[in-house]
Structure 1
Amino acid sequence: MPPRRRMTPAQRRVQLLDVGQKIFDDGEFEELSMDEIAARSGVTRALLYHYFTSKADYFAAIWQRAHETLGAVPAPAPNDSLRDWVADQLVAYLDFYRAHPHLVIIANRSSVAAKPVVRDVVSVHFRAMAAALFDAAGCHGHERLLATAAFEGWIAFMRETTVATLVEQTITAAENLELALAVLDATVGVHARLDDVPLAVS
């Protein structure tokens, strides 16, 4: 193990996240134990666990940091339909996933994929999109509950088609977008109008 460099807690956390990102980019996350990750980081196993209580927690932190490059979900533009707005958001997400293919694999096809700490981080941006969508559509009450349940199912669908696009490469990005919008229309669209809706901009 290389000599450990003295850092502030914030600097050490960033350094550990940087090492983890490199491990993900190299496609080695599944193969390495926390002991091996600690050794690559130049820290003890105990110190790594001080910052991240589990491998799933470690991945979730790296995934969350990577998502910050997307920024907050923007409000729908006044002159676009809600469906067009969702399509624009999906293109941005798919571009992000294309730039981080190993993060997609780990979030959907790894030993930590089903952990709540991972699933919650992966879903947070989609849920922000849902809230903005339903607010702009004026979707309230029980219809909003139904639309929210449909949207959660749509997220699961999107996970599978995105893996098929970026990992298995059995469908194209354009086909993925087409499938996503068709399923959105058939599920969420039953409870929240998506086409030609004047967007409520506060």
Structure 2
Amino acid sequence: MTTRRRLDPDERRRVLLDAGATLFAERAYDEVLMEHVAAAAGVSRALLYRHFPTKRDLFAGVYQLAADRLLVATEFDAASPLSEQLAAGLDAHFDYFEANSNTVVTANRVLAGDPTIQAIITGELGELRRRLLDSMGVEGSTRETTSAVLMSWLTFVRILTIDWLENHAFSRTELREISIGALLGALEPILGDRRPNLR
């Protein structure tokens, strides 16, 4: 007879988040019930509710974990042309968005007004902006202007990607090219010849 190893709270939380992530990716938000998550994780509903009192709390935990993983997967190399850095970062995000479209649409449509979800999105965008600014090596007033452009661009890409997930009006390649072209075009008047690796 085999006995199950008792998981510590962090391990148990990770099992619950993984189960939630799978279900939120497979189904629309309203179709995911907490009892489904408990069953998928092999725990009682009472235990699930001890870790996550509401479905929104569980979803927020799933989305925070996804944002953390995406940031790990999105590193920028200042030695590479900016367009190559952007392409790699966008591909990492598009991979996740495509594989987890229900989760992404939930965060950006169904729970768009939820302050916790918005804080996760804002935090991720802010960190991506900081990394890009550091990679580009801009300072002073140029950094301030570039920072504003980058935040606007990151928001633009997120909205465009949600539209792509919902409507498929253009290809993923076109999505990448539109996104990169939009930023390079916006940066050209600011940076000009000062960044030879812009493209």
**One-letter amino acid of the structure 1 residue matched with residue 74 of structure 2:** V
1:76 equivalent in structure 2: 77
2:158 equivalent in structure 1: 159
**One-letter amino acid of the structure 2 residue matched with residue 175 of structure 1:** E
> Is the contact between residue 27 and residue 102 of structure 2 (CA under 8 Å) also seen in structure 1?
yes
> Could you list the per-position Cα deviations for residues 46-89 of structure 1 after superposition, in whole angstroms to 9, with x for gaps in the alignment?
x44442354333222212323454425323152x2223211221
Q: Using CA pairs under 8 Å that are at least 6 residues apart, name the structure with larger relative contact order, 1 or 2.
A: 1
1:121 equivalent in structure 2: 120
* Alignment partners' CA distance in 2, 1:6 and 1:137: 47
CA deviation after TM superposition for structure 1 residue 40, in Å: 6.4
1:24 equivalent in structure 2: 24
* Alignment partners' CA distance in 2, 1:99 and 1:132: 25
> Is the contact between residue 13 and residue 51 of structure 1 (CA under 8 Å) also seen in structure 2?
yes
CA deviation after TM superposition for structure 1 residue 162, in Å: 0.8
> Is the contact between residue 17 and residue 62 of structure 2 (CA under 8 Å) also seen in structure 1?
yes
CA deviation after TM superposition for structure 1 residue 195, in Å: 5.4
Unaligned runs of 5+ in 2: none
> Is the contact between residue 24 and residue 103 of structure 1 (CA under 8 Å) also seen in structure 2?
yes
> Could you list the per-position Cα deviations for residues 117-150 of structure 1 after superposition, in whole angstroms to 9, with x for gaps in the alignment?
2123234444333222222323223332222222
Unaligned runs of 5+ in 1: none
> Is the contact between residue 74 and residue 88 of structure 2 (CA under 8 Å) also seen in structure 1?
no
More helix by share: 2
> Could you list the per-position Cα deviations for residues 79-117 of structure 1 after superposition, in whole angstroms to 9, with x for gaps in the alignment?
x2223211221122112222222222112121x223232
Q: Do the aligned partners of residues 113 and 30 (structure 1) sit closer, same or farther apart at CA in structure 2, a change above 3 Å counting?
A: farther
* Alignment partners' CA distance in 1, 2:195 and 2:94: 22
* Alignment partners' CA distance in 2, 1:188 and 1:57: 38
Q: Percent identity?
A: 28
RMSD: 3.0
> Is the contact between residue 19 and residue 40 of structure 2 (CA under 8 Å) also seen in structure 1?
yes
Q: TM-score, normalised by structure 2?
A: 0.76
1:1-202 correspondence to structure 2 within 5 Å: 7-32=7-32, 34=34, 37=37, 42-44=43-45, 47-52=47-52, 54-70=54-70, 71-78=72-79, 80-110=80-110, 112-192=111-191, 196-197=196-197
How many equivalent residue pairs?
Answer: 191
Q: Do the aligned partners of residues 65 and 123 (structure 1) sit closer, same or farther apart at CA in structure 2, a change above 3 Å counting?
A: same
**One-letter amino acid of the structure 2 residue matched with residue 146 of structure 1:** T
Q: Give the 3-state SS of the residue equivalent to 1:75 in structure 2.
A: coil
* Alignment partners' CA distance in 2, 1:129 and 1:151: 9
> Is the contact between residue 147 and residue 188 of structure 1 (CA under 8 Å) also seen in structure 2?
yes
